[in-house]
Amino acid sequence: MGSELKVGDIMTKTVVVVPLGEDLFEAAKLMKKHEVGSVIVVDSLETKRAKGIITERDIVYKIIVKRVDPYKTKVDDVMSKPLRVVKPDTTLEDAAMAMKENRIKRLPVVNDNNELIGVISEGDIMKIFPVVIDLIEERATLG
């Protein structure tokens, strides 16, 4: 992309989280309530250290299709881990490459203490893509 935009510049700062040990049903209710496709699993609601992620796809593939009871299943058993994360100073180009290489659509953003401070998605990057193209073209005419 060639942009100097960083993950921290465009990340979503309000992230829906669920603590380790919570029932999967509660995680699904949070997704519906907040109209999001994923929740980040954290060690606790106080420290918010990111441990995993649960997506709608995880619920369908790991629970519904296998006829597992979501009321008796803990988020720990369904979450995808190890969790791929980025720091807010990561370039958008590096974040996009990490998503592509790991075949994921979302990356939690953590600070130096691994505390969740945001999330960035493919959609977030695509929304600003025209701005990035403008920056590249502007540099080309100046250089």
pLDDT digits (tens, 9 = 90+) for 54-94: 999 999 999 999 999 989 999 999 999 888 999 999 999 89
State if pTM tops 0.85: no
What distance in Å separates the CA atoms of residue 68 and residue 32, rounded to the nearest whole number?
Answer: 20
Nearest CA to 88 among 29, 15, 10, 4? Answer: 10
Which fold is adopted by the domain 7-142?
A: CBS-domain (3.10.580)
- Residue 69 tokens read as 């009871």
pLDDT at 30 over 50: yes
